[in-house]
Structure 1
Amino acid sequence: MTVVFSWLVATFITIPILGYIVFFVISKQITKNHRKAVKASIDLSTILFICSVHYLIKAIWGLSLIWVIILTMLIMAIIVVLVHYKVKEEIVLDKIFKGFWRVNFLLFFCAYLLLVLYGMIVRVKDVF
């Protein structure tokens, strides 16, 4: 059982888009609402993209830059709080956290795509 669980976790961290799709299908079946299913799958797969970016950096350059990832997330949290305060003129913690989490999804999804593309180009260039 633990082997199957670790295999699933490793697969979802290696290919977080697959995790997003699985979360979306399950959420869609439960909620019967496309918009809620998308939001739930984004919220659930964000951690997969964060871990995936960390391991891609480690695989490409051999460095553990988890401190940069945490620092980036802290800076994004500050930016989300400041923007939310400027727009709403009050601080609503649940909305700030949702905004922070979804901004992180966008950031790490883009970073994942760029790192996968970069890693493929570097590996192909090394072969030839």
Structure 2
Amino acid sequence: MTNALVWLVATVITVPFIGWYLVYIVVVKWTKNKRRSVRLASDFSTLLFMLGVYFILKSMWTNMSIWVILAVFFLIAMFFTYMHYKVAEDIYIRKLARGIWRLNFLFFFILYFLLSGVGLVVNIMKFY
């Protein structure tokens, strides 16, 4: 039983799109609302994509540290906070936190697929 759980967690972290899809299926069955399901699945899988990017970078550069991922997260948060203040002229914490989290999802989602493609090409080129 523990081996199956470890396998599931490792698979979801390695391929976070599977985790996103599992959350989406559960939420859409529960709420019957596809739009809300996409948002909740994105919110719940942000951390999975962050971990996926970390492990891809860790496999490319062995001295990779988690601080790089955290620094990117906080840089995005600072940028979004600045833009939120310029647009709204006030800071609404709930909207700000949700926006930061979703912008980080979008960034790490794109970065995950870009790094996966680069890793694939680099590994193919090693054999030729």
- TM-score between the two structures when normalised by the length of structure 1: 0.95
For 2:94, the equivalent position in structure 1 comes to 94
Q: Residue 40 of structure 1: CA displacement?
A: 0.2
Describe the SS at the equivalent of 2:90.
coil
User: How many residues matched?
Assistant: 128
For 1:70, the equivalent position in structure 2 comes to 70
Alpha-carbon distance in structure 2 between the residues aligned to 1:86 and 1:37: 30
Root-mean-square deviation over aligned CA pairs = 1.0
Deviations 1:40-97 (A, max 9, x none): 0000110000000000011122232321111111111111111111111111111111
1:26 maps to 2:26? yes
Alpha-carbon distance in structure 1 between the residues aligned to 2:59 and 2:9: 17
Alpha-carbon distance in structure 1 between the residues aligned to 2:49 and 2:32: 25
For 1:40, the equivalent position in structure 2 comes to 40
Q: Residue 127 of structure 1: CA displacement?
A: 1.0
- TM-score between the two structures when normalised by the length of structure 2: 0.95
Alpha-carbon distance in structure 2 between the residues aligned to 1:87 and 1:115: 32
Q: Report the AA paired with residue 13 of structure 2.
A: I
Task: Flag structure 2 segments of 5+ consecutive residues without an equivalent.
Answer: none
1:122 maps to 2:102? no
Alpha-carbon distance in structure 1 between the residues aligned to 2:52 and 2:63: 14
Please say if residues 57 and 63 of structure 1, whose CA atoms lie closer than 8 Å, have aligned partners that are also in contact.
Answer: no
For 2:7, the equivalent position in structure 1 comes to 7
Task: Flag structure 1 segments of 5+ consecutive residues without an equivalent.
Answer: none
Moved over 3 A (4+): none
Q: Percent identity?
A: 38
